[in-house]
Amino acid sequence: MKRLLVPLAVAGLSAAALATPATAAPSWVSDPLSPKPADAYSAAYFWLDANGAALKKATEFRVDAKDVPKLAHPQTTSADGKPGMTAPTGTTGAAPRSKNVNLPKTIGKVFFLDRGGDYRWCSATSIQARNRNLVATAGHCVYEQGKDVFAKWVFIPGYYQGKAPYGVYAGAYAFTAYDLDTYDDYDGDFAFVAVHNGFELAGEKTVSKAEYDKWAGDKWIKPHEITAKEFGTCLVNLGNCWSEGEDKPADRVGPDYPGAVVEKEEVGEQAYKDAKTGKGNGYKFGEPETVPVTKAEYDAYKGPGEKAEDTSGNYTITRFYTQKWLKPGTSRTFYRGDYVIGLAKDAGRLGDAVGGQGVAWNQPMGQKVTVFGYPAAPHPDGDKPFTGLTPKICSGRTGTKTYQVNTFKVETHQVLKCSMTGGSDGAPWLLRYDNNKRTGYVNGVTSLFHDQDGNNRIDFVSSAYFDGEVADVYNKANYAATKSIVGPDGELIGK
């Protein structure tokens, strides 16, 4: 990886964790995503609201390229230091032995808003960290063209069709290579993101005005329509009530008046006979209506219709109608507002909820890896075999040499024969994957997609080679301190 070095500081981390000797400027950078609890809560709630409507609306993020980039100039790459590994952690015992590949709990999707305001997602995984709070994904799934970080960035492990079975984890701080952040150099197309504790929505509660004012989490006023009498009582009791609109009587207009509606107006038999047939005020409205009534209804009727009683004591009323065209009137509507707070439940630290994959660097080439991602984009020929709803798997040995990708300033990408398409960006490449424990070592993340045989089908994927500089970025992210953003009563903690 090319080295262009500059020191940066990260808010929220200890000075000791970030201290770097003046003679050893780091090759890493860090940027805040949603470090404040209120911002983190807002980002996660954005995706969870309305039963995950925004999650279901999101589409896979695609790298902006006119053509599928080609792998070029294979070359031998030597590690820049000794091989190293950080062991994975799990949350459950070993899975039953299976001939099929067991999916790890750690994988999921990251969701964010791109610069155009579109709802996007990539693939990712939870990884081991001292604070059990790190996510590994592609750098371009965190940084827009190596510049600003994406908005409302969250990770959802085990995501499936709008559901977040282990909670939503809002990003606090992002760590990546200086080359990617500054030059959009895909030799550094990886990122480690420290996330806050996850949370789940836990319903709502109607509270008093005082409780509402003190509540730091999500809250709103829910309106209920009431009568005019209830509105008066509410005002006297200084309640939260209001009215909308005003009382205006209907005006008689012609039948061609925009928005005019017709009503029937009861008239006597002679007036009905004199009325014309057609459309307009005073014109006939249908045929006369003769209906049987009770003796009480017969006696109570005082209208212009014709009343009749036969010799058997049966009563009828015949009613006659003409048209009446009106411009509708309006009336005031009265409301009372209930003070409602939204409750949330702390889902704990990411690593405690789903475990974390290990991380490996400076490993020999040509080793077997297992890749888990959510492909969704079509192949260059338009065929779309993947939906992005469920994770897919690629398994095989990486190439024995690294490759250049000229269009993305890449000099040393490792490659794997794999037909996954866009949407699996950020998918972890797991070295030494244990199918029973469902753990391995992240030794790469899917960065780019390639069509090497020219048949308009993706046949290779590539990743940054995880070397000592990747380990340096990981070690800095490893110290990032995050916390719960939801209190024991479902309230937002802090500001």
What's the CA gap between 315 and 306, in Å, rounded?
Answer: 11
- For residues 140 and 143, what is the distance between their CA atoms, to the nearest angstrom? 5
148 and 287 co-located in one domain: no
Q: Are strands 368-373 and 333-348 parallel, antiparallel or unpaired?
A: unpaired
User: Are residues 353 and 420 part of one domain?
Assistant: yes
At 479, give phi and psi (nearest 5°): -95, -5
Residue-range definition of the domain harbouring residue 308: 251-327
Specify the pLDDT at position 434: 95
What pLDDT, on a 0 to 100 scale, did the predictor assign at position 194?
Answer: 98
Within-domain flag for 488: no
- pTM comes to 0.77
Residue that terminates a domain, selected from 316, 341, 366: 341
The answer on 406 and 284 residing in a single domain is no
Q: Are residues 185 and 207 in the same domain?
A: no
Specify if 494 maps to a domain: no
**Does one domain contain both 388 and 277?**
no
Quick one: 364 and 433 in the same domain?
Answer: yes
Clarify whether residues 93 and 184 are in a common domain.
yes
Look-up of token digits 């400027």:
25
Instruction: Look at the chain and report how many structural domains it folds into.
Output: 3
Instruction: Kindly state whether residue 71 falls inside one of the protein's structural domains.
Output: yes
Q: Are residues 115 and 35 in the same domain?
A: yes
Q: Please report the pLDDT score of residue 91 as a whole number.
A: 65
Position 297 in a domain: yes
Residues 293 and 406 placed together within one structural domain of the fold = no
Residue 100 placed within a domain: yes
145 and 227 part of one domain: no
Same domain assignment for residues 208 and 190: no
Structure tokens at 107: 């994988």
Which residue positions in the chain have pLDDT lower than 70?
1-26, 64-66, 77-78, 91-99, 146-147, 494-495
d(CA 291, CA 298) in angstroms, rounded, equals 11
- Based on the fold, state whether residues 193 and 273 are members of the same structural domain: no
